[in-house]
Amino acid sequence: MQTLFAGGNLFDGMQQSPAGLGVLVEGGKVRRVAPLPEFTGFAGPRVDTSGCTLMPGLIDCHVHLTMGGEADPATAQSKLSAPQIALKTLERAQITLKGGIVAVRDCGGKDYIEFSVRDAIRRGEFEGPQIRAAGRMICMTGGHGNRNGRVADGVDEVIKAVREQIHAGADLVKIMATGGVMTPGVDPEDAHYSREEIGAGLAEARRFRRRTASHAQGAEGILNAVLGGVSSIEHGIFLNEECLRAMLERGTFLVPTLAAVLNIIRNRDRGIPSWAVEKSERVFERHKQSFLTYYRAGGKIAMGTDAGTPFNLHGENALELQYMVDLGMSPLDALRAATSLAAELCDLPGQGAIREGAEADFLVVAGDPLADISRAARREHHRGVFRAGRPALGLPAMAGALGRVAAQAAF
């Protein structure tokens, strides 16, 4: 069956398209994008986007679906059984889709539980966003993420850890290059792998055609990962000139995850561990500065939120667009970061664009997000979320307001 989307503006993932275009969907894909007169006489179903903008569904390049945004997510997770975590992971994935996010990159889960949710969605057993999953984060002894990660020390053991993730079915490989905020007793500025160790792990992942991501906050660890050929730097808090040059030369993506530290700062008095608050307050200004420096230098940036960290709720992922624009990114570049560029990083060639042959995964927002980014960032302005050209999860095809996620849904 064919469906025609027409009446409003069209952002195609790269730019605002000329007025008066229609988008014809068939078999879950975009069949034709053309001026409306070409569709004269079309008698099939229509979605009237008048007063709205039709755009690709958003992509979040950094989430943790097995965590729920609690004040202390690791402790909360430790109290749940594997079946309970699986059910909550599916619930969070579906909440994420309702928030306009049609694909995510899960950058570290729990004992591969998230793989079962990913695979069930791929098989069509449940509806949800496309999921690219890293499996167990690879970290050094005592390193950031060691509670759920695959601890590996030395070149041979790091290579073995990469192979284990690939054998388990990982879509990408994540290696922890530095300390971080959410692990007690580690410093975000410390490099946690030698250049040889991380380079060997990244090379092994590439050998098996896997994209790679590195949690990297301190400058030395960032540089180690970039020189090792990592696909993306996650967070990138303490970028310096040497890091900047290396990333620009290699086309390395930055996934800034501004929401992560920002939500800890905003909720510092709501039970978040004191050591996490202290580190967040210490890095906050430097984080914003590094993001803006890389953006102004023309670096490739993809949207990511770190959803699942304290008070960083699944379903509210699109707020990252607002945070990036508030710091100085243009609305156009923010939308590209969440669509076409995010699809490139996540290796999703059918996503992030509205063009012939692409997946018909759309977000319809009231007004013009290129003039006011809140139209895409805030769910009260969302009017429709579509997967394969159909309303997602039984939501209205065009709603006056989809409503906000109840905060308790992420806990």
- Exposed/middle/buried for 97, CB within 10 Å: 0-12, 13-18, 19+? buried
* 360-387: b (≥16 Cβ within 10 Å) or e: bbbbbbbbbbbebbbbbbbbebbbbbbb
- Do 81 and 107 lie in one domain? The reply is yes
Of 325, 345, 365, which residue constitutes the final position of a domain?
A: 345
The one-letter amino acid at 101:
I
Bridge partners (DSSP) listed for residue 46 = 4
Of 345, 373, 389, which residue constitutes the final position of a domain?
A: 345
Per the structure, the complete domain to which residue 389 belongs is given by 2-57+350-410
The whole-number pLDDT of residue 399 equals: 59
| pLDDT beyond 90 at 395 | no
Q: CB under 8 Å to 269, separation ≥6 — which residues?
A: none
Residue indicated by tokens 């390395």: 252
Q: What is the mean pLDDT of the chain?
A: 95
Cα gap 86→109, rounded to integer Å: 11
The pTM assigned to this predicted structure is 0.95
The whole-number pLDDT of residue 397 equals: 72
The one-letter amino acid at 32:
R
The whole-number pLDDT of residue 141 equals: 98
Of 303, 321, 345, which residue constitutes the final position of a domain?
A: 345
- Do 289 and 172 lie in one domain? The reply is yes
Domain of 389, CATH number, reads 2.30.40.10
Give residue 367's pLDDT band: very low, low, confident or very high (50, 70, 90).
Answer: very high
- Do 86 and 53 lie in one domain? The reply is no
| pLDDT beyond 50 at 401 | no
pLDDT (tens digit, 9 = 90+) per residue, 19-45? 999 999 999 999 999 999 999 999 999
- Do 53 and 66 lie in one domain? The reply is no
Tokens, residue 301: 């940036």
- Do 235 and 134 lie in one domain? The reply is yes
Tokens, residue 365: 């927002």
The one-letter amino acid at 63:
V
pLDDT (tens digit, 9 = 90+) per residue, 111-123? 999 999 999 999 9
Distance, CA of 42 to chain centre: 37
The number of folded domains in the chain is 2
pLDDT (tens digit, 9 = 90+) per residue, 78-88? 999 999 999 99
User: CA angle, 112 as apex, 300 and 302 as ends, to 5°?
Assistant: 10
Residue percentage of the chain with pLDDT more than 70: 97
